[in-house]
Amino acid sequence: MSISRRSLLGAIAVAAMSGCSQGDDGRRELRLATGLAGGPYRPLGDRLAEELRRAGVRTRVMGTAASVQNLTMMTDGRADAGFALADSAADAVRVRHQPVTALARMYMNYVHLVVPATSGVTEVRQLSGRAVSIGVEGSGTAVTATRVLAAAGLERPPRAVRLNLDTSVEALLRGRIEAFFWSGGVPTPALAARDDLRLLPLEPLVPVLRRAYGPVYEHASVPAGAYGGATSVPTVGTPSYLMCRASLPDDLAYTITETLFLARDRLQAPSAPGGRLDERYAIGTGTVPLHPGAARYYRSVYG
């Protein structure tokens, strides 16, 4: 980016920041809600924040439980932008009528249902009555996991516990739970180096989920070798969105969206469909409307 262009972006951003919170020194700042340690949202948010600061947008990153909490924080004014899974975002807009909008569809998340490599469990229905971690309260993983388990039609509901990713791995290997859910890019670093875990296939549940909740769920496949396995694992996919509060100033939404694409090679989004951001992929946010400032950016790209 040329100096003159960066200066122009900075001037626009400063003017737009009147709609954001004040920092300790009284300057306006954008509050970006991310996710848990070990997941993709936290490092992706850190990198995006650095790029926004370069563009003149003072940005504060906030670690959270991710999707549901992020959407709640944008709704009640504690956050200005943040990441969320598509199913959680669609619920926020269609069911709870929360004042949030999308800036971009970022990349595909894959639902991981993880068991020990030595487990005799080969399909989700065998988890009837067993202890399963569905993710922490306020996470998109917990929303998706609850729906997947309901769609599977288990004879008895599992004994659901709510653990983060790292604690889920530990609990699984110590025998305190028999499976755990995780929704993230592929490969998820916390799982990639392990040979003592195995994924269960979930793809047959996609039609059931789509009938109940619409196209926020997609057919997806964890590639062979992503976690050491010799074959791919068909599963459920759901995109991640970069969201913002509906009242975010248009010029600031435009600047965030533009910065997102100018910096896409440095953001290192998960290596999944959409991992290298593409404007044609990014506008596909389904029932979640694009913010007018983001829509203006995409129109400027398409002409």
Taking only the tens place, the pLDDT of each residue in 204-221 is 999 999 999 999 999 999
pTM of the model: 0.88
For residue 6, pLDDT over 60 is answered with no
Q: Which of 26-30, 73-77, 216-220, 298-302 has the lowest mean pLDDT?
A: 26-30
Question: Domain boundaries in the chain?
Answer: 3-107+240-302, 109-238
pLDDT digits (tens, 9 = 90+) for 255-295: 999 999 999 888 887 755 445 578 888 999 999 999 999 99
pLDDT > 90: what percent of the chain? 75
**Annotation: CATH topology of 3-107+240-302:** D-Maltodextrin-Binding Protein; domain 2 (3.40.190)
Of 127, 121, 111, residue with least CA distance to 160: 127
pLDDT for res 15: 46
Provide mean pLDDT across the span 44-61. Answer: 97
Tell me if 25 sits within 8 A of 47, measured CB to CB.
no
Which of 107, 101, 55 is closest to 81 using CA atoms? 101
- What SS3 class is residue 202? coil
Q: Residue 92 carries which DSSP code? A: H
User: Among 54-68, 117-131, 239-253, 277-291, which stretch is predicted with the lowest mean pLDDT?
Assistant: 277-291
Give per-residue pLDDT as tens, 147-159: 999 999 999 999 9
Average pLDDT, integer, range 106-133: 96
As beta bridge partners, residue 235 has 220
Rounded to an integer, what distance in angstroms lies between the CA atom of residue 213 and that of residue 70? 21
Please, which residues bridge with residue 233 across strands? 222
More confident position, 240 or 280: 240
Q: Which of the pair, 93 or 301, is modelled with greater confidence?
A: 93
Range 132-153 average pLDDT:
97
Other CB atoms closer than 10 Å to residue 126's CB: what's the count?
17
The more confidently predicted of residues 210 and 20 is 210
Q: What is the pLDDT of residues 146-194, one digit of tens each?
A: 999 999 999 999 999 999 999 999 999 999 999 999 998 888 888 987 8
Which one is the CATH code of 109-238: 3.90.700.10, 3.20.20.70, 3.40.190.10, 1.20.1050.10?
A: 3.40.190.10
Rounded distance between C-alpha atoms, residue 294 and residue 297, angstroms: 5
Residue 61 has a CB neighbour count (10 Å cut-off) of: 18
Q: What is the mean pLDDT of residues 216-241?
A: 92
Q: How many CB atoms lie within 10 A of CB 268?
A: 13
Q: What is the mean pLDDT of the chain?
A: 90
